[in-house]
Structure 1
């Protein structure tokens, strides 16, 4: 599989270039950036053979099988659609699009091409094990699911705070927490309330968000997202059942200081779930899906559900949907 990169993004080496070196049959074959000089520097550093003069030129390259889209949030739908129109498969960084309407548009355009949202954590065995523990009934009837993705980003000029590029803590950090809440809930969550802490210079942009949910069966849920708040760092999933609890530290990248602890009927155990890094497993799953395997765990239908919930959170918080 020959894949091209749209944009010399900081995440690209970690998410794609280095994993491609160990995943058989995958070649990062081309790159394009707004600044050709940046693309050339990226290509030279990472051994990419072809530099294209524009995004449009890259997606039209007939030698490519797939396109990786790590552009700012507000550009995801535009260039995923362009790649699909050109007949390419797409690995698109999270969040899938700026809003649910765009997600539905991409889903309708996908056809028989593989479109995978890059929630890389979902491809690690820890994600499957979390879901297995919760949905097996081991914890008893689920009463509450809490997920959090909080980290510090005090540089408020960063594009992740740009409303016009679909920025905000819920989009950048919180989309992981929303997706994980959906994975561990007994059914699709419904937003009950949401509270945002916004930037002083742009009240449309959340630097932190807390949302409460009603879950099927009478359970409740909570999502916490932050790029700047009193909660400096927290990446965690916690599920409370009538018989016990499950707590997962760093569910987003469990290969780095990850921990899964289960307490049932007073008995506590810690589980170690081995596996390659999340990005390597994600790329392997993407390549297999392009080859016809049923390995896409984050297809457009899943993305539509996640983006719909994000829209509902913004609405409940009294903020506009991302453009």
Structure 2
């Protein structure tokens, strides 16, 4: 396959430290340019990573006729505006999560998504451990899945950090709660019908520092999660079925090139003696994500998650915010 030529909007830490090194290692990708509102910052990132071109504005990169696809890891409130600009320039866009701050805002991408490919960047869907977990559930190894339980937390109370700035989409639900929602949608292979949320906001920052929720997927299927930006670092996904359970031990921040493990318990012994641990091959989930997107850009077959999938995510988050305000169950609009 002919390489897809990529550009990157911003020198965001997630890109510099995690995504871009994996993209640079791919035989399907040519990472040709990086842009920042600060030309020195763009040049420093380009030199560090070996990217040929550096631009001092996003508009300059989008005007580069050789760039075919763009990775957008900008702060949450800039996801839609810059994705629209990229699409208007004829670039395909892999946009970091959440793709928008509301379903209404996400829907403004619909016309652009008819011209270029736009996808919300959930790298976990491409990791072997997530694909194996779904395979085990589909095969009935835990019986009928009844509950997915997710815990995801870290500690960061720095007011200068964009994750702690409410006006631009900071807080636990937008940053990591989206992964919990995806966990239920991925493993149940369904959409939730209604939700209820309990939100604790930082009195100084205004962001949700801890959010817990219960999502009703119908047919007795439930997703329960707690996410927090001010708790000890931890993450786990449990799937409970009628005959067993499985556990993804490092579900979201799988280390680069790490061999991950899934624990499968078909015996149900309370002391864990029935647990079988399966080690998955080492993988680089950001590289797999970008390669899958590149194949779709070239018209090759493969898994794709377009705007409808991103809208489904956004509708759930909208309903959780409504539940925070109402204190009641809220239907997914």
TM-score between both structures, scaled by the size of structure 1 = 0.92
Q: Does 1:313 align with 2:320?
A: yes
**Structure 2 residue 161 is matched with structure 1 residue 189:** no
Secondary structure of 1:160's match?
helix
In structure 2, the partner of 1:269 is 276
Find the partner of 1:63 among 66, 82, 95.
Answer: 66
Q: Does 1:279 align with 2:281?
A: no
**Distance in 1, Cα, partners of 2:64 & 2:72:** 15
Task: Name the residue aligned to 2:330.
Answer: none
Q: How does 1:96-175 map to 2 (within 5 A)?
A: 96-175=99-178
Query: In 2 relative to 1, CA 75–92 (structure 1 residues): closer, same or farther, beyond 3 Å?
Result: same
Structure 1 gaps, min length 5: none
Deviation, structure 1 residue 257: 7.2
2:191/2:217 contact within 8 Å kept: yes
- Give 1:202 deviation, angstroms: 4.1
Q: CA deviation at 1:16?
A: 3.5
Shift of 1:25: 3.5
Mapped partners of 1:15, 1:63: distance in 2:
24
State the Cα distance separating 1:156 from its structure 2 match.
Answer: 3.1
Structure 2 vs 1, CA of residues 297 and 235 (structure 1 numbering), >3 Å: closer, same or farther?
farther
Change (3 A) 1:107 1:264: farther
User: Residue 225 of structure 2 corresponds to which residue in structure 1?
Assistant: 223
1:191 Cα offset (Å):
3.5
Whether the 8 Å CA contact 2:46–2:53 is kept in 1: the answer is yes
Distance 1:186 1:53 in 2: 43
- In 1, are the aligned partners of 2:164 and 2:170 still within 8 Å (CA)? yes
1:240 equivalent in alignment to 2:240: yes
Counterpart of 1:213? 215
Query: Which segment is superposed worse, 241-250 or 273-282?
Result: 273-282
> C-alpha separation between the residues in 2 aligned to 1:235 and 1:224?
10
Q: 1:224 to 1:298 in 2, by over 3 A?
A: farther
Post-superposition shift, 1:248? 1.0
171-180 or 149-158, larger mean C-alpha shift: 149-158
Deviation at 1:253, TM superposition (A): 3.5
Which of 305, 308, 311 aligns to 1:301? It is 308
User: 1:140, 1:243 within 8 Å by CA — same for their partners in 2?
Assistant: yes
- Counterpart CA distance in 1 for 2:204 and 2:108 is 32
Q: Which range is displaced more, 10-19 or 241-250?
A: 10-19
The alignment partner of 2:293 has SS state of: helix
- Cα displacement (A) at 1:289: 1.4
> Deviations along 1:201-221, whole A, 9 cap, x unmatched?
244x20110001112212222
| CA distance in 2: counterparts of 1:303 and 1:309, whole angstroms | 10
Task: Give secondary structure in 1 for the equivalent of 2:219.
Answer: helix
Please say if residues 200 and 209 of structure 2, whose CA atoms lie closer than 8 Å, have aligned partners that are also in contact: yes
Distance 2:112 2:100 in 1: 14
Q: Secondary structure at the match of 1:173?
A: helix
Paired residues, what number?
A: 316
- The alpha-carbon deviation at position 290 of structure 1 amounts to 1.2
